[in-house]
A and B are shown apart, each in its own frame.
Chain A
Amino acid sequence: MKRMRKRGYISILLLLAAGTALSGCSQSSGNGEEQTAPGQEKVTIKFWHRWPESQQALEQAIKEFSEKYPNIQVELPSIASAQYPTQLQAAVASNDLPDIFANTNAVPLDQLNRLGLIRDIDDVFKEGQKDKFYEGTWTEGFTTLDGKVYALPHFTPRRYAHVLYYNKNVLKNAGLTENDVPKSWDDLLKVGAKIKQSGSDVYPLILGIKTDWLSNGYLGQMGTAIKPEVVPNDGFNLKTGQYEFDSPGYVESIEFIKKLQDEKLLHPNSLVIDYREASSLFAGGKAAFVIDGTFLSSELQQNNKFNDFGVAPLPTKDGKPQYYAFQGETKATLHVSKNTKHYEEVKLFLQFYMDRYYTKQLELGIEGSPIIEQNKTVKVDNPPFVEAQKIQDQTFVLSPHPYTRNRAAVQVNTELNGKKPKETVGKILEGYLAGQIKDVKAQLSLLSSGYNKALQESIDKVNKAGTPIQLTDYQFPNWVPLQPYATDKYGELKK
């Protein structure tokens, strides 16, 4: 019995000893890493992103990079876009951010910087290299803070425009040609009636209304043909300095979709599906047209293996011109962790990135480059992609942004986060089509007042904290919608 007891003690001691030894091991390995000299021994840099469409191009670019720099390994895990903010939250909480990581709406640039999580990357750029990017790329609060670059664009910042995709086979079966692709709402109604006659289960238009962020965009973009003062990006009237979701632009666009539904020209599944289900049904020949972002082009080719489609500008009321505002907001960017131990290697990688990844994504028909010259010189044998890029380029117009006018607007935006109503124009469209909302204008007015109240409260809070900013900083009387708002225009406002 005594022996058994002894054995028991011994086994506990052994367990404890093993535990201590294991923790000792982990410590020693940590010390070992710190001793590694950058650039001489094998180094691994971690890179997190949230763009599934870029995965293939990134893998190819990283492979080329590893061949050029065999001592630098780039780890690129595949992260589901929806999980990305949560994963980043966990990394921040455990102080374990990857060396390079993609931005997310969940944590704006200003907040990342104030939390001491990112570092400036000014020295990544060679002399004059920054000037090769699109005008407006280096905007305070989006890519730069106090003049220093903190975010490197991943795609062209003039992304994404909303376009109309047409299925060539469906058009052919209905006896139509590419010349019949609608330019105005009336055209769509006329062409739609012909398509509806051609087959019982084929509809003129399909939308993935469950994806409300996409609906927000195309409703706003179509709305600019009716009321151009309201920018489609966020429903803000840059003349009055107020959110105006109840502008005729939004109201009439929503009512037009309702009309399509009433006249059975909108695929009935539209209300219950998301944008990818909609594009799959479109590729499957169930609809002649689908409205989506310019990024759908590569999605259809890569995932749906579908090539018989064309791209056209969105049809608008009376066929009037439309636009999407480029206000310096680069939606897809990369940050470098402040705690990176391998900044020299990261720099090499980012330089390679600008030279090679940007062109690779063009070659593969994924998205345009942030560098103007590359978009002109790289040969791309992909007609729908080229057409989509052309339309995108025409759609984006450099427009004013309060960030550039008063730096305090960045703080106001950080304050605004979480205070804006959770409601969206896309959700209101869903409610209107489902018959739950009877008065769409009243619902949109409610949304506008919620946004305006939150904006005013945030401005007041920033003012109280000692940084002066007024609502007038959000008004741009010298702006002419649809005309580029160059940097010198901000100067005129000061006079």
Chain B
Amino acid sequence: MQRTISRFVWPASRRTRIRYLWAYALIGPQLLFFLAFTVYPIVMSYVYSFYEWSGFGPLEQFIGWDNFAKLVQEQAFWNAFRNSLIYMAATTLILMPSTLILALMLNRALFKGKVFYRTLYFLPVVTTTSTIGIVMKFIFGNENALVNEVLLGIGLISKPIPWLGQADTAMLVLIVIGAWKFYGMMLVYWLAGLQSLPKEVFEAARTDGANPLQTLRFITLPLLMPVAAVILLLTVVNSMHVFDLVKTLTGGGPFYATETVDLYIYNYAFSTSGFPQIGYASAAGIVFGVAIFILTGCLGLWAKRLQQTGGKH
């Protein structure tokens, strides 16, 4: 109890007090921006979700839980939810093992041209997503498009495949490009994790005569587990919020086959050809936000457990 109280005691020395004042004065603007542009919109989206509101005029039509009731009955919302989950699961399954393998290769001291490859894989990360979406739309087009031309050229296919014009292939292309875009970022995460591992353990293993496979199986992977859990968490959160790529590559089509929840919300909130429904879109945002919160909460708990057990290794 005493400890808790002592935290709030105003510093005795005037000099320390002034330093505190300066510290608060300096973080003040950032705090204000945070409150205005992060906290306030979040709070207001909760408020909007209980109103029928198009974004014009005052909030007048309070409708209670109606937006939420309509949302859970809306097949299109669950379709978007399903698409987001498929995208998340597929990109995570592709990225987690493949980037780890490449990171292990790039982390080996003997490997030549490490920096070149790291830069190469990181390039898509720094490229604007919407630009990638637009360019890829042409690469995966039907007529005179690179992918079909190559496949036709080597005789793998006899007629062009409408990659983005069919539900299954459109989702496949979206997943592959999404994974490729985030590949470099994952690689950096793994490399950072690998470089933080204690060198002594590996030296001891080498002295004991462990071969590279044994070192990987019994030392590298167990030690990496806590880092892996965090990387998994970051990948899941990132892929659940795919928006700009879908918007520019498929526009959510064909016929909603690749519409993710973020795009669904956008279409309702900023519909240009129809009538914007900010209240309903806010409700969708909240339901999706809660779902992500639960998902990441579970992963976070798992990561914490791994960190605790990982520390014992």
Contact = CB atoms under 8 A, between A and B. Distances in A.
A105 B275 CA distance: 6
A14 interface: no
B280 A418 contact: yes
Nearest to A112: B56
Nearest to B165: A271
B270 interface: yes
Given A434-B255, A436-B254, A268 B142 contact: yes
Interface in B264-279: 267-268, 270-277
A286 B160 CA distance: 16
A12 B28 CA distance: 14
A437 B255 contact: yes
Interface string A201-234: 1000000001011000000000000000000000
A437 B255 CA distance: 9
B178 interface: no
Interface string B12-33: 0011001000100100000000
Contact of A430 (B14, B55, B254, B275): B254
Contact of B141 (A8, A269, A422, A428): A269
A44 interface: no
Chain A interface residue count: which class? Answer: 35 or more
B54 interface: yes
A276 B179 CA distance: 29
A154 interface: no
B143 interface: yes
Interface stretch (A79-87, A366-374, A377-385): A79-87
Given A12-B25, A268-B165, A434-B257, A89 B55 contact: yes
Contacts of A437: 255
Interface string B222-266: 000000000000000000000000000011011111000000000
A422 B56 contact: no
At the interface, is chain B mostly helix, strand, loop or mixed? loop
A82 B18 CA distance: 51
Given A105-B275, A431-B254, A417 B54 contact: yes
A52 B148 CA distance: 35
A1 B141 CA distance: 71
A428 B270 CA distance: 21
A5 interface: yes
Contacts of A272: 137, 141-142, 162, 164-165, 250, 253-254
Nearest to A106: B276
Contacts of B54: 106-107, 111, 417-418
B167 A434 contact: yes
A7 to B, nearest CB: 11
B143 A268 contact: yes
Interface in A289-327: none
B277 A85 contact: no
A125 B253 CA distance: 47
Given A85-B270, A269-B141, A418-B275, A115 B57 contact: yes
B166 interface: yes
Nearest to A434: B254
B267 A268 contact: no
Nearest to A272: B164
Interface in A415-467: 417-418, 420, 422, 427-428, 430-431, 433-437
A8 B22 contact: yes
A267 interface: yes
Given A210-B253, A272-B164, A435-B167, 10 more contacts: A85-B276, A210-B251, A269-B142, A271-B162, A272-B162, A272-B165, A422-B76, A422-B267, A422-B268, A427-B256
Interface of B: 14-15, 18, 22, 25, 52, 54-57, 76, 137, 141-144, 160, 162, 164-167, 250-251, 253-257, 267-268, 270-277, 280
21 contacts: A84-B272, A85-B55, A86-B270, A88-B56, A89-B56, A93-B55, A106-B55, A106-B56, A106-B272, A107-B54, A268-B143, A268-B160, A417-B54, A417-B275, A418-B54, A422-B271, A422-B274, A430-B255, A434-B167, A434-B257, A435-B167
